[in-house]
Amino acid sequence: MIHSAPAWKRQAYSIAAMRAMARAALPRPVFDFADGGAEDEHTLKRNETAFATIELLPRPLNGTSERDLSITLFGKRLSMPVIVGPTGLAGLFWPDGERCAARAARASGTAYCHSHGSVSTIEQLAECGAAPRWMQVFIYKDRGFTRELAERAAQSGYDALVLTVDNQLIGNRERDIRNGFSIPPQFGLAGLAGMALKAEWLWRMRREIGRITFGNYVRPGEASDIKMVAGRMAAMLDPTMSWADVDALRKIWTGPLLLKGVLHPQEAKHAVDRGIDGLIVSNHGGRQLDGAPASIAVLPAVIDAVAARVPVLLDGGVRRGSDVVKALALGAQACLVARPQLWGLAIAGEAGVAHMLEIYRQEMSRVMGLCGIARIADIGKDLVFSQFIDGRQP
């Protein structure tokens, strides 16, 4: 059964509502693969609760009827400071999931970041016209493969390269263990029983399941056996990654180069000193180091360390337009949203991701209006209550 558009959209009135709908639509192991974090999920929870503790101090007498959410980032105009972040295996949530999400981002006027672990390849994503498009990579034991991915991204006209630095060892995701979910996806008995209850997803994915693989890792002419490809992928990650690797990538990639997964202010400063063009403050959504602070909690210290030399972006628990406004008030240029795109895909594919982005746009616009702010450039530190109070202290 296909949802009639108004019905599902009415139900999907917030990102939290979309998560609940995705939970109902997806087999438990698939939902948990996206929703879960590492170990006790302290960091996962912190990401969202830290936003809740930040208070906004409005000035409603700066009344405005029109709000302009657009920004310029790395020379590209975006209609709002919300970017679709990289998530591996988006194609597990909806057929051709990555290209659906990328098309929705383009239609919304924002950027899409393609994950190394996507089902579709660098080239297939570029062919769908996603723009602006960013490519996310890792440092591999075979440094030649990192170079190869960067070169393929350059050849396919990607606008920026994102080096994720917090995933060289895979976090201990206990929901996946409990559900018997692994990469490649293998479902335990309970998982299989749960799947049978998710008939719509099963029907939609019936031809896809057998074809799902990590497209970027399949060699030309090779059969795309996910087991073999996934094994190769995990074995390729190099935990001995160092600054020399960052320098080497800097030499290869001439366009904007961002580091994703930076939390320590000194690492942030060091990265900028070495010629990095942007930072994504991120704890990988609590999927890697459980115990890391919330991204929004470390943002002010990173902003101080970087001293406005490069754009600083943030992800992790951004679930409301007001969260984006808070991050911008604390110095970020934009936020990335990752899980919400998977909820959008699970509910309605491309239309679901477009709807998800529209929720952020409308919520941001309303919050800015309530705060008496017409333009992104007018979002300042003093919008955050605690910063306002601190600023007044002698």
Ligand X SMILES: Cc1cc2nc3c(=O)[nH]c(=O)nc-3n(C[C@H](O)[C@H](O)[C@H](O)COP(=O)(O)O)c2cc1C
Token pair of 378 as six digits: 């007018």
Token pair of 242 as six digits: 């160092």
Q: Which stretch binds ligand X (CB under 6 A): 24-32, 242-250, 277-285, 353-361?
A: 277-285
In angstroms, give the least distance from the CB of 285 to ligand X.
Answer: 3
Strand-strand pairing, 71-73 and 76-78: antiparallel
Position among 108, 136, 146, 213 found at the interface with ligand X (CB under 6 A): 136
In angstroms, give the least distance from the CB of 114 to ligand X.
Answer: 9
Angle between helices 339-371 and 15-25 (to 10 degrees): 160
- Single-letter amino acid, residue 361: R
By C-alpha distance, which of 272, 331, 277 is closest to 304? 331
Q: Which is nearer to ligand X, 126 or 324 (CB)?
A: 324
Per-residue mark of binding to ligand X, 202-241 (x: CB under 6 A) = ----------------------------------------
95 is a site residue for ligand X (CB under 6 A): no
245 is a site residue for ligand X (CB under 6 A): no
315 is a site residue for ligand X (CB under 6 A): yes
Any idea which residue has 């029109």 for tokens? 66
Q: Which stretch binds ligand X (CB under 6 A): 193-201, 212-220, 251-259, 283-291?
A: 283-291
Per the residue annotation, which of 114, 116, 284, 355 is the catalytic one?
Answer: 284
- What is Dmax (Cα atoms) for the chain? 68
Q: Which is nearer to ligand X, 33 or 74 (CB)?
A: 33
Q: Which is nearer to ligand X, 149 or 373 (CB)?
A: 149
318 is a site residue for ligand X (CB under 6 A): yes
Per-residue mark of binding to ligand X, 143-182 (x: CB under 6 A) = ---------------------x------------------
Q: Which stretch binds ligand X (CB under 6 A): 8-16, 21-29, 122-130, 310-318?
A: 310-318
Q: Which stretch binds ligand X (CB under 6 A): 127-135, 247-255, 281-289, 357-365?
A: 281-289
Per-residue mark of binding to ligand X, 331-350 (x: CB under 6 A) = ------xxx-----------
86 is a site residue for ligand X (CB under 6 A): yes
Number of neighbouring beta carbons within 10 Å of residue 212: 18
Per-residue mark of binding to ligand X, 285-304 (x: CB under 6 A) = x-x-----------------
By C-alpha distance, which of 111, 120, 95, 71 is closest to 379? 71
CA distance 82 to 360: 8
Per-residue mark of binding to ligand X, 12-51 (x: CB under 6 A) = ---------------------xx------------x----
CA distance 98 to 134: 13
87 is a site residue for ligand X (CB under 6 A): yes
Q: Which is nearer to ligand X, 321 or 369 (CB)?
A: 321
Position among 43, 108, 115, 216 found at the interface with ligand X (CB under 6 A): 115
Identify whether 284 is a catalytic site residue.
yes
In angstroms, give the least distance from the CB of 336 to ligand X.
Answer: 6
- Single-letter amino acid, residue 253: W
At residue 259, φ and ψ (nearest 5 deg) are: -105, 130
282 is a site residue for ligand X (CB under 6 A): yes
With CB under 6 A as the rule, give the number of residues binding ligand X.
24
By C-alpha distance, which of 46, 51, 54, 52 is closest to 387? 54
**Residues in touch with ligand X (CB under 6 A):** 33-34, 47, 85-88, 115-117, 136, 164, 260, 282, 284-285, 287, 315-318, 337-339
Q: What positions carry a catalytic annotation?
A: 284
